[in-house]
Structure 1
Amino acid sequence: MKRILSKICLSGAALATAFSLSTAASAEELTIAHSTWVGYGPLYIAQEEGFFEEEGLDVDLVVMEDVKTRMPALAAGRIDVAVTTIDTVLGFYTEDHPLTYLFALDDSRGGDGIVANADIKTIEDLKGKNVAYTEGSVSQFFLSVLLKEAGMSLSDVNSMNMSAGDAGAAFVAKRVDAAVTWEPWLTRGQDTEHGHLLIDSSKAPGLITDIAVTTEETLEARRPEMEALYRAWAKAVAWQKANEEAADVIMAKGVGGWLDDPAVFADTRSGIAFYDADMNKTFMDPSNPDGIVGTIANAMTLGKESGMVTLDANPKSLLAADIVK
């Protein structure tokens, strides 16, 4: 009898183990694509500290540097979630593949800005000047908003299309009058004899914000997983705030590239703010005109003026309701 009971117990344990392995193996993978940026670091905390697993997720984090590769991959269903800036999403929205905003990841708080010649004291002083920035990027959006607030537009400056790094280098070499760029070029630009920091993103919170986005089709099919993804993100940001030094090591290793040194990662991180649960509740609230709906509306208006956006929709309709709770 003991042998029979023993065999039954062993068989039951084997079945339980087999069932557990089968369930884990059958869990559908959630693929998230991102570029090399400090703001995406908490995704790797969620992976390393087991927050994805706690939420029942099997997440594959993939680096796709070019947004022109990342967003079409999302539309084609080759990835499930992409992270990019709010304004960028609108340029890839189509009727065939409608997109929806899930939750905010990070906000530029001084990490982006404009360096300019010493005689350029205000945004208005940029009129007629050679200004370098990346066309179709968040740098163009940032500049466009500032010009709009000053009663101007991109047509009032002599636009020079360059990558952010090339724009910063061109300014340092005195080849342009101003550059819309980010670190380390903001510091290098203002450290020159001829330059200074005209303005940075700390003066415009919520304007340059990274967002998690998916297709409406994927959201409909996998909403519970999207809600779990947000919960894992919120846990990771809370952990980062409580363990900054250890978090920088994890995030630097995960994000990699030019940010693979924890010291460099920490220094770059000082120019952004991670969106925690409370910040997301406020920012993603459709009734908050100063939150994401305001940024979307601004991006839509400026995108239409530049011919980069054709979408005509209520910003609130682009939000995934109840993902942020």
Structure 2
Amino acid sequence: MCKSFRNVFSLVMVLALVAALFAGCGGSKETKPAETAAKAYNGTVKIGASSWIGYAPLYVAVEKGFFKKHGVDVEMQTIQSAGDRKTALAADKIQGMASTVDTQVMTQAAGIKIVQMLALDTSSGGDGVVAKKEIASLKDLKGKTVGLDTTGGASYFWFQYLLGKEGLSFNDIKVQSMTAGDAGAAFVAGKIDAAVTWQPWLTNATKTSFGHVLVSSKETPGVIVDSLALRKDFVDKYPDSVEGIVKGWYDAIEYMKTNPEDANKIMAKAMGQSVEEFTQSLPDVEFYDQAGNKTYFGTDGKKGLIYEVSEKAADLWLKEKLIQEKPNLDEMINGSFIVK
């Protein structure tokens, strides 16, 4: 082999080696973003919620950039009706919705596959049963007329839960179907014996000469709970974004503690209230931070209250024929993101 040929051959080998090295480096750089892209959503995650105080920290997380800090862009959409939220979720117009746990069960039963991955808040005095003063216990409601929203939802589920604990059922009382707000107004007007309602009607009832709060949600923590649920296909495909949403919520809860004045302004605006009105209603809810979520979801070895509440809701909705079949509850509850 002549010297010139060896030089050419050596040059070719060197170039081939360099090309291989660059290809290898390039391959490693491309692989990592591809893996990241497969786990994180590049678009805007849209979450539907009503103007309920329990969802207010979500707006803090958006306003203060906490979601973006954890790599996810979130847009809140005000959708007051739970039915409309379910419709939007089914059509993939939104990727998640905030609602009560019992309502999330209905959504799953309707064939809209969701995953509850974060507990937001529990009613802590915001809901209650008001009654005439001579009615001293739930058992005293036997034969009495009670105003109640019978179309399903948190009030209906909670009241059934209360009656069940006392060995009572709807057959023991006279139910007058009306919205929770109308029930409160009817009681204050002296038209019914009791009502399952919420604030401000609980306070208004105590201002009458004949009424009192028989029982409030403060006595049943963890039963009327709002959770954030995302479409199951979204959770399966974009776990990093789900984790980012959870961490953004935690940051918002912490910000509320350290910067209450600014946080309250943001939340009051989002709820369409004055800061004074908003702060007055804050004691009616308890927000779930990471510790609260860990307790509520529990572990594989010891499941938390969310499973019991979901089970009771599923049994009730099936009994009342508001759903056609019992949904897979284990599939729609995932507490793995709350501990990351």
- Same fold by TM-score greater than 0.5: yes
The match for 1:292 is 306
Bigger drift between 288-297 and 57-66 goes to: 288-297
Output aligned runs, 1:193-208, within 5 Å. 193-208=209-224
Bigger drift between 106-115 and 160-169 goes to: 160-169
Alpha carbons 2:121, 2:287 under 8 Å: kept? yes
Matching residue within 303, 322, 329 for 1:315: 329
Structure exhibiting the larger radius of gyration computed from Cα positions: 2
Q: State the 1:304 CA deviation.
A: 2.1
Matching residue within 272, 287, 293 for 1:274: 287
The match for 2:154 is 138
| Corresponding position: 1:119 with 2:128 | no
Output aligned runs, 1:235-254, within 5 Å. 235-254=251-270
Q: State the 1:232 CA deviation.
A: 0.2
Identity of aligned residues (%): 35
Q: State the 1:276 CA deviation.
A: 0.4
Matching residue within 135, 140, 163 for 1:147: 163
Q: State the 1:45 CA deviation.
A: 1.0
Matching residue within 240, 260, 273 for 1:224: 240
Give the AA of the match of 2:251.
Answer: K
Matching residue within 290, 293, 296 for 1:283: 296
Give the AA of the match of 1:301.
Answer: D
Secondary structure of the residue aligned to 1:180 is: strand
Counterpart CA distance in 2 for 1:113 and 1:37 is: 16
- Could you tell me the TM-score, scaled by structure 1's length? 0.87
Q: State the 1:170 CA deviation.
A: 0.5
Give the AA of the match of 1:223.
Answer: P
The match for 1:90 is 105
Q: State the 1:286 CA deviation.
A: 4.3
Q: State the 1:305 CA deviation.
A: 2.1
| Corresponding position: 1:178 with 2:191 | no
The match for 1:20 is none
Give the AA of the match of 2:143.
Answer: G
Could you list the runs of 5+ residues in structure 2 that have no partner in the other structure? 1-36
How has the CA–CA distance of structure 1 residues 301 and 96 changed in structure 2, closer, same or farther, with 3 Å as cutoff? closer
Counterpart CA distance in 2 for 1:273 and 1:45 is: 16
The match for 1:99 is 114
Matching residue within 70, 92, 99 for 2:85: 70
- The size of the alignment, in residue pairs, is 298
Q: State the 1:157 CA deviation.
A: 1.7
Q: State the 1:104 CA deviation.
A: 0.4
Alpha carbons 1:44, 1:255 under 8 Å: kept? no
Q: State the 1:165 CA deviation.
A: 1.2
Bigger drift between 216-225 and 164-173 goes to: 216-225
Could you list the runs of 5+ residues in structure 1 that have no partner in the other structure? 1-22
Counterpart CA distance in 2 for 1:304 and 1:96 is: 14
Alpha carbons 1:36, 1:65 under 8 Å: kept? yes
Deviations 1:106-146 (A, max 9, x none): 11111110100111111111122111121212001110000
Counterpart CA distance in 1 for 2:210 and 2:111 is: 50
Q: State the 1:213 CA deviation.
A: 0.8
Secondary structure of the residue aligned to 2:338 is: coil
Give the AA of the match of 1:291.
Answer: L
**C-alpha RMSD of matched pairs (Å):** 1.8
Alpha carbons 1:45, 1:251 under 8 Å: kept? yes
Alpha carbons 2:297, 2:303 under 8 Å: kept? no
Alpha carbons 1:90, 1:311 under 8 Å: kept? no
Counterpart CA distance in 1 for 2:297 and 2:324 is: 23
Alpha carbons 2:297, 2:335 under 8 Å: kept? no
Moved over 6 A (4+): none
